């Protein structure tokens, strides 16, 4: 009975969606705007076109998406960092760590073999380094703070899976998380108090286009975000592991 | 001064990130941080109101990062946003003062979630960009999910799971609406979309409107998407429920109408549909509250009913109706918050289970709290000369002037139903025929003191005539701010 | 071969909305909490694919100016990619939180069936 009602609702929804989407032109070029479409009037300037053209002058970063995420819409990134912080805190509140004192339960599950342990120990610094590479070069190649932080958390996840008694120091990770968040907001407040604009990001010299030391404070912000996301996701994985 | 308005969002965020470090130094200090933050916000919001009065109503536009709209994110703070900001800060301050020694399990993370919930609501009210609205909606929702499940017993977890499932659907629908709208207008700024919405084909516009409205109506507790409300309000800790009912719901109603009026330039058929939804919400909410035995559940259904009334008022699109709706928002927020806190204080004093029958005759032992409860109920129902009466008068005259006489009759019927169950509640509290025997007061009197002071201040303000006139003047300017699209666009893009 | 071009033009939208429909069906019909959570995840993935596919322009490349030949006239629209970055992270946060609630619910009620965990009545 429930299945029939659900299918009927979905069929109505599909029909509604079809009526709307059939007017969408996939892959239509509206940025070059050589051929004017009748539905786009002349006074709309697409925001994407403005960002692409003014990026080199205002931000000097080779990756336009990074400059959108950090500089033009930096407030959304601040909100996203807050969302991750909220989720990690909520998780910590709901899954309070229950220390299992009985150790014979640990030995009943199978220990990973020696090959897995050795390989994990070799791979861990390499994956960590790769994550750091991804978020330092966020303004030159695809990537950035969130992607690099997730790679670092994956490295720690591999160590958790290979060693059954791998422990991390929660206090250090919580401190890194809080300090990174505070530094991000402090950068924004420095812009406010000094120049009257929150999150103004060209306070340090812009540098040469397409090199590592370019784009002002954008790489600094991405490094901070990378550390924050990495430590946060590692703490989340640790909370899951200790409570099951 | 104008650019420093960002501090109303940035400073709570800074304080929330600081709380774990403070907790590592001393376990007792994080308790006071929400109070300091909310006190700062109240003073700042009142300052913003004086600034708006001094510049003759020109809205405050904060350009983030120094980029001009529509190519950067901007905040829009007009009269309505300032009224809501003052409401959020003052009611938040009262609830934060109540929480200090009354929620036993609260530790530093509770205060962090509390501050972030209030920051998310502040961001919802002041933003001028559509995707930024989505991000702040998510901040509010995730803080609400975590706070609902705070007590970690079976009831709270079940309510939180239900809330998470329905809330995720809401955020997905809002995101589909934003995607379709972005593809049609190539921009994400609310004022820019309002300027270009006429060139979008009607089918696409109606699809985006329906997706966005369904998503926002789930958060704003309209029928039929408010199944989560009674369970969540029953299971969460009571100060958190007070925040939900007084603050979060008002901000989501504001967002609902900002999208409907400014982005989509409302037309009459959609308005009538929204009024119909509001009427159904009002009647189902009030009638369901009649047969409830649990205090918080009864107050939850009453909240749903009041949300329906506010939505009817604002959707009528007449100046008097919208101003009356905003007045009812303020009235309901203050007195429902006081009601939740006072009844929680009474229930915790007798270590009761939260049923109405537990409080039989409690006025003999706790006269002050019982008087506050009775007074708040009278102010909510709308007995003259208190504020509820003026608000309902404005709403009803606004509706009569747009020709919705049937709706007026239904609102009067719902008010009668509301009076029935509320007066029954007062009768139970003041029942002098039953002797109360097992009363051990585990709560010291100074816990309820902030609530009493707040109630006294509000009553004093609402009886001074000059303040009432000035307040009504601000209300009409706020109503104009919501309905007048042209002034919104020229304020943001003309600057 | 006009119908091949039509199919190519709509394949992304059909795929994205197909995922959304499957996810909605799972949320509405299934009773196991983990299956409902997977349904919500499918809806998130579908919406993200829809959002990214709105920015594509035929014949143009990625918006990273790594060599001098790439100029603003022959790259695709960068905004939907920035929006999807944020939306993916938010979806991840909600999934992590709901998994923790499910773990605690299983500890309390010893079942994952949503029709058996209904203590609160009308």
- Which stretch of B216-230, B352-366, C41-55 has the lowest confidence by average pLDDT? B352-366
Has residue A118 been placed in a domain? yes
Average pLDDT, chain B: 85
Q: Does C28 sit within 8 Å of A6, measured CB to CB?
A: yes
Q: Does A78 sit within 8 Å of B13, measured CB to CB?
A: yes
pTM of the entire predicted model: 0.93
- Which stretch of A30-44, A128-142, B108-122, B205-219 has the lowest confidence by average pLDDT? A30-44
Q: Is the pLDDT of residue B141 over 90?
A: yes
Percent pLDDT > 70 in chain B is 95
pLDDT tens figures, B150-202: 888 888 899 999 999 999 999 999 999 999 999 988 889 888 888 888 888 88
Q: Does B204 sit within 8 Å of A79, measured CB to CB?
A: no
Q: Does B196 sit within 8 Å of A199, measured CB to CB?
A: no
Q: What pLDDT shows up at residue A148?
A: 93
Give yes or no for B166 touching C (CB within 8 A).
no
What single-letter DSSP state applies at residue A215? S
pLDDT tens figures, B276-291: 989 999 998 888 888 8
Has residue A79 been placed in a domain? yes
Q: Is the pLDDT of residue A118 over 80?
A: yes
pLDDT tens figures, B239-277: 899 999 999 999 999 999 999 988 888 777 888 889 998
Q: How many domains does chain A have?
A: 1
Q: Who among C10, C21, C93 is closest to A84 (CB)?
A: C93
| CATH class of the structural domain C2-59+73-109 | mainly alpha
A56-81 mean pLDDT: 87
B39-68 mean pLDDT: 85
Q: What pLDDT shows up at residue C26?
A: 93
Q: Does C64 sit within 8 Å of A62, measured CB to CB?
A: yes
Q: What pLDDT shows up at residue B170?
A: 93
Give me A204's structure tokens: 């340090």
A109-119 mean pLDDT: 85
Residue A64 in contact with residue C65, Cβ under 8 Å? Answer: yes
A163-180 mean pLDDT: 87
Q: Is the pLDDT of residue A97 over 70?
A: no
Average pLDDT, chain A: 83
Task: Report the alpha-carbon angle B211-B212-B218, nearest 5.
Answer: 95
- Which stretch of A9-23, B43-57, C9-23, C62-76 has the lowest confidence by average pLDDT? C62-76
Q: What pLDDT shows up at residue A37?
A: 47
Q: What pLDDT shows up at residue A56?
A: 79
Chain A residues within an 8 Å CB radius of C79: 47-48, 51, 68
Percent pLDDT > 70 in chain A is 87
**Neighbouring residues of B119: CB distance < 8 A, sequence distance ≥ 6:** A82, B9, B12, B13, B16, B139
Write the CA distances from B458 to B462, B467, C73, C122, integer angstroms.
6, 11, 61, 35
What single-letter DSSP state applies at residue A165? T
Q: Does B168 sit within 8 Å of C94, measured CB to CB?
A: yes
Residue B339 in contact with residue B380, Cβ under 8 Å? Answer: yes
Give yes or no for C27 touching B (CB within 8 A).
yes
What single-letter DSSP state applies at residue B259? I
Has residue A143 been placed in a domain? yes
Q: Does A84 sit within 8 Å of C9, measured CB to CB?
A: no
pLDDT tens figures, B414-460: 888 988 888 888 888 887 776 666 666 656 666 677 777 777 777 77
Has residue A229 been placed in a domain? yes
Q: Is residue A169 packed enough to be buried (19+ CB in 10 Å), middle (13-18) or exposed (0-12)?
A: exposed
> Chain C: residue nearest B288 by CA?
C122
Has residue A53 been placed in a domain? no
Q: Report helix, strand and coil shares of chain B as percent, to nearest 5.
A: 80, 5, 20
ipTM, two decimals: 0.93
Q: Is the pLDDT of residue A211 over 80?
A: no
- Nearest Cα neighbor of B240 from B134, B364, B118 is B118
pLDDT-derived band at A35, boundaries 50, 70, 90: very low
Has residue A26 been placed in a domain? no
pLDDT-derived band at C98, boundaries 50, 70, 90: very high
Each domain of chain B, given as residue ranges in start order, spans 267-463
B21-50 mean pLDDT: 87
Q: Does C43 sit within 8 Å of B172, measured CB to CB?
A: yes
Give yes or no for A13 touching B (CB within 8 A).
no
Maximum mean pLDDT: which of B6-10, B472-476, C43-47: C43-47
Q: What pLDDT shows up at residue B120?
A: 94
- Which stretch of B43-52, B58-67, B78-87 has the lowest confidence by average pLDDT? B58-67
pLDDT-derived band at B101, boundaries 50, 70, 90: low
| Total number of residues shown for chain A | 244
Distance of residue A199 Cα from the nearest chain C Cα, in angstroms? 18
Residue B195 CA to chain centroid, in angstroms? 29
Contacts 24+ apart (CB under 8 A), B346-355: B346/B370, B346/B373, B347/B295, B348/B102, B348/B442, B348/B443, B349/B439, B349/B441, B349/B442, B349/B443, B350/B438, B350/B439, B350/B440, B351/B440, B351/B442, B354/B234, B354/B294, B354/B295, B354/B296, B355/B293, B355/B294, B355/B295
Which is more confident, B119 or A100? B119
Give yes or no for C119 touching B (CB within 8 A).
yes
pLDDT tens figures, A225-240: 999 999 999 999 988 8
Chain C residues within an 8 Å CB radius of A69: 82, 85-86
Give yes or no for C44 touching B (CB within 8 A).
yes
User: Domain residues for A72?
Assistant: 59-96+108-242
Which is more confident, B57 or A61? A61
The residue behind tokens 């009817």 is B312
Percent pLDDT > 90 in chain A is 33
DSSP string, B22-83: HHHH-TTGGGGHHHHHHHHHHHHHHHHHHHHHHTTTPPEEEEGGGPPTTSS-EEEE-HHHHH
Q: What pLDDT shows up at residue A104?
A: 47
Q: Is the pLDDT of residue B369 over 90?
A: no
pLDDT-derived band at A32, boundaries 50, 70, 90: low
Pick from C96, C104, C108 the residue to mutate for testing the A interface (most A CBs within 10 Å). C96
Q: What pLDDT shows up at residue A40?
A: 46
Has residue A12 been placed in a domain? no
A75-94 mean pLDDT: 92
Residue B187 in contact with residue A47, Cβ under 8 Å? Answer: yes
Chain B residues within an 8 Å CB radius of A24: 183
Q: Would strands B60-63 and B74-77 be described as parallel, antiparallel, or unpaired?
A: antiparallel
Q: Who among B4, B132, B203 is closest to A76 (CB)?
A: B132
Q: What pLDDT shows up at residue A38?
A: 46
Q: Is the pLDDT of residue B346 over 60?
A: yes
Distance of residue B398 Cα from the nearest chain A Cα, in angstroms? 36
């Amino acid at each position: 009975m429930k299945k029939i009602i659900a299918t009927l609702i979905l069929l109505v929804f599909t029909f509604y969606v079809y009526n709307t989407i059939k007017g969408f032109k996939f892959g239509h070029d509206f940025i070059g705007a050589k051929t004017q479409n009748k539905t786009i009037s002349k006074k709309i300037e697409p925001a994407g076109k403005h960002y692409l053209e003014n990026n080199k002058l205002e931000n000097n970063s080779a990756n336009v998406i990074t400059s959108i995420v950090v500089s033009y819409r930096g407030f959304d990134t601040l909100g996203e960092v807050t969302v991750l912080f909220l989720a990690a805190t909520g998780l910590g509140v709901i899954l309070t760590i229950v220390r299992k004192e009985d150790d014979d339960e640990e030995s009943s599950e199978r220990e990973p073999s020696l090959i897995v342990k050795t390989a994990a120990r070799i791979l861990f610094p390499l994956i960590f380094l790769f994550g750091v590479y991804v978020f330092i070069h966020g303004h030159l190649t695809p990537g950035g703070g969130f992607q690099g932080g997730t790679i670092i958390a994956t490295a720690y996840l591999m160590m958790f899976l290979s060693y059954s008694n791998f422990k991390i120091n929660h206090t250090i990770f919580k401190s890194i998380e809080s300090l990174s968040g505070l530094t991000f907001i402090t950068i924004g407040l420095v812009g406010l108090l000094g120049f009257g604009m929150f999150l103004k990001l060209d306070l340090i010299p812009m540098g040469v286009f397409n090199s590592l030391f370019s784009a002002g404070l954008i790489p600094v912000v991405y490094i901070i975000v990378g550390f924050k996301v990495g430590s946060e996701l590692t703490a989340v994985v640790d909370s899951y592991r200790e409570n099951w | 001064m104008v650019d420093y308005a960002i501090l109303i969002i940035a400073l709570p965020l800074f304080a929330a990130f600081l709380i774990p470090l403070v907790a590592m130094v001393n376990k007792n200090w994080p308790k006071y941080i929400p109070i300091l933050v909310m006190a700062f916000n109240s003073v700042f919001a009142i300052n913003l109101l004086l600034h708006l009065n001094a510049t003759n109503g020109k809205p405050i536009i904060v350009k983030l990062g120094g980029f001009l709209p529509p190519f950067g994110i901007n905040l829009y703070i007009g009269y309505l946003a300032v009224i809501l900001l003052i409401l959020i800060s003052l009611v938040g301050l009262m609830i934060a003062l109540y929480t200090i020694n009354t929620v036993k399990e609260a530790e530093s993370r509770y205060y962090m979630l509390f501050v972030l919930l209030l920051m998310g609501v502040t961001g919802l009210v002041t933003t001028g960009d559509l995707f930024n609205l989505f991000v702040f909606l998510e901040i509010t929702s995730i803080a609400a999910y975590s706070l609902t499940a705070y007590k970690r017993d079976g009831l709270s977890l079940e309510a939180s799971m239900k809330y998470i499932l329905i809330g995720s659907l809401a955020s997905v629908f809002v995101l589909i609406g934003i995607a379709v709208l972005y593809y049609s207008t190539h921009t994400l700024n609310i004022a820019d979309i309002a300027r270009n919405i006429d060139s979008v084909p009607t089918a696409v516009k109606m699809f985006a409107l329906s997706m966005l409205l369904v998503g926002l109506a789930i958060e704003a507790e309209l029928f039929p998407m408010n199944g989560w409300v009674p369970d969540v309000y029953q299971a969460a800790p009571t100060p958190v429920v007070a925040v939900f009912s007084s603050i979060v719901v008002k901000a989501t109603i504001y967002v609902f109408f900002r999208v409907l009026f400014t982005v989509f330039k409302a037309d009459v058929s959609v308005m009538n549909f929204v009024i119909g939804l509001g009427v159904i919400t009002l009647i189902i909410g009030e009638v369901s509250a009649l047969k409830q035995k649990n205090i918080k559940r009864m107050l939850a259904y009453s909240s749903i009913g009041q949300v329906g009334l506010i939505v009817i008022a604002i959707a009528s699109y007449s100046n008097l109706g919208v101003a009356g709706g905003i007045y009812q928002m303020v009235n309901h927020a203050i007195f429902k918050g006081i009601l939740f806190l006072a009844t929680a204080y009474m229930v915790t004093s007798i270590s009761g289970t939260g049923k109405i029958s537990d409080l039989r005759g409690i006025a003999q032992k706790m006269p002050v709290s019982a008087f506050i409860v009775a007074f708040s109920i009278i102010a909510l129902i709308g007995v003259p000369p208190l504020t509820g009466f003026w608000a309902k008068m404005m709403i009803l005259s606004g509706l009569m002037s747009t020709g919705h006489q049937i709706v007026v009759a239904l609102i009067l019927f719902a008010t009668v139903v509301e009076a029935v169950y509320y007066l029954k509640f007062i009768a139970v509290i003041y029942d002098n025929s039953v002797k109360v025997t097992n009363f051990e007061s585990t709560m010291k009197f100074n816990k309820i003191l902030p609530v009493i002071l707040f109630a006294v201040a509000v009553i004093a303000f609402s009886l001074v005539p000059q303040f009432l006139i000035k307040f009504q003047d601000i209300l009409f300017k706020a109503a104009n701010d919501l309905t007048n699209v042209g002034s919104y666009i020229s304020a943001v893009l003309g600057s | 071969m006009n119908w091949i071009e039509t199919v190519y033009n709509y394949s992304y939208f059909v795929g994205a909305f197909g995922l959304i429909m499957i996810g909605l069906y799972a949320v509405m019909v299934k009773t196991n909490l983990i299956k409902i959570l997977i349904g919500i995840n499918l809806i998130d993935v579908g919406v993200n694919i829809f959002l990214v596919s709105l920015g594509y322009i035929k014949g143009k490349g990625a918006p990273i100016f790594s060599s001098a030949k790439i100029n603003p006239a022959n790259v695709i629209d960068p905004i939907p990619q920035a929006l999807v970055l944020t939306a993916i992270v938010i979806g991840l946060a909600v999934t992590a939180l709901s998994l923790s609630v499910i773990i605690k619910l299983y500890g309390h009620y010893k079942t994952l069936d949503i029709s058996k965990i209904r203590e609160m009545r009308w």
